Amino acid sequence: MQLTVRTICISIINTDGAVQGVTCLIWVKVDFHSGEPVYQQIAQSMKGDIISGKLSRDELIPSIRELARDLKINPNTVARAYRELENEGYIYSRPGVGYFIKDSDKKTMEEKALEILAKEMAGIVDIARNYQVSRQKFTELVMQSINSAYGGDE
């Protein structure tokens, strides 16, 4: 079963005495029957939203309990996902307030994006190798995909 959850949270952040209201929209999809651990699915989904800029700095994300309730899972699983996100520098916590998206410069974001892409690519390369596609044909295919997405014909 797949579960898609939309969590809207409105945060009031006090920066330099000013009160700001930020609305963040989070979609987390969990497939319980996939071989991928649920906490990793949550972390992965949020990383994607942060890197692509859907979630931006200092936005308050749902609390562990809120997200656990929405996804109908144990709070420990969400806590584990948040711990991973915190350790890898995607979010930070303010005790008693909640978890927020960490400020990252463009270069760091690109590095993180490349890290995720490298993992995804490894899987695709494995498939190509299992299908016995030659290095040259595979490179051509990759270039074709790049050209159709980014433009250009080299």
Partner 1 sequence: MHAVQIKELCKSYKNSSFTLQINDLSLEAGSIFGLLGSNGAGKTSLLKLLMDIVRPDRGYIEILGHRPSEREKLQAKISYMPENKNLYHNMTVKKMLDYASAIIPGWDNDKALELKNIFPLEGKKRISTLSYGEKTQLYAILTFARSADLFILDEPTRGLDPIMQEQMLQLIKEESWQGKTIIFSSHQLGEIEESVDSLAMLRKGHMVLNGNLDDLKSELFLLKLEKSKISAIPPSTLDIIATHHQHKQSLILCQGGMEARQKLQADFAFLNTENVNIKDIFLLLMENGGEEE
Query: CA-to-CA distance for 44 and 38, rounded, in angstroms?
Result: 10
Q: Which residue, 47 or 80, is less far from partner 1 as judged by CB? A: 80
Provide, rounded to whole angstroms, the least separation between the CB of residue 66 and partner 1.
12
Q: Which residues bind partner 1 (CB under 8 A)?
A: 1, 32-40, 65, 68-69, 72-77, 80, 122, 126, 129-130
Provide, rounded to whole angstroms, the least separation between the CB of residue 67 and partner 1.
12
Q: Which residue, 50 or 73, is less far from partner 1 as judged by CB? A: 73
Provide, rounded to whole angstroms, the least separation between the CB of residue 111 and partner 1.
20
Q: Which residue, 111 or 126, is less far from partner 1 as judged by CB? A: 126
Q: Which residue, 58 or 66, is less far from partner 1 as judged by CB? A: 66
Q: Which residue, 94 or 129, is less far from partner 1 as judged by CB? A: 129
Provide, rounded to whole angstroms, the least separation between the CB of residue 47 and partner 1.
16
Number of residues that this document lists for the chain: 154
Provide, rounded to whole angstroms, the least separation between the CB of residue 75 and partner 1.
7
Task: Give one DSSP letter per residue of the chain, joined into a string.
Answer: -EEEEEEEEEEEEEETTEEEEEEEEEEEEEETTSSS-HHHHHHHHHHHHHHTTSS-TTPBPPPHHHHHHHHTS-HHHHHHHHHHHHHTTSEEEETTTEEEEPP--HHHHHHHHHHHHHHHHHHHHHHHHHTT--HHHHHHHHHHHHHHHH----
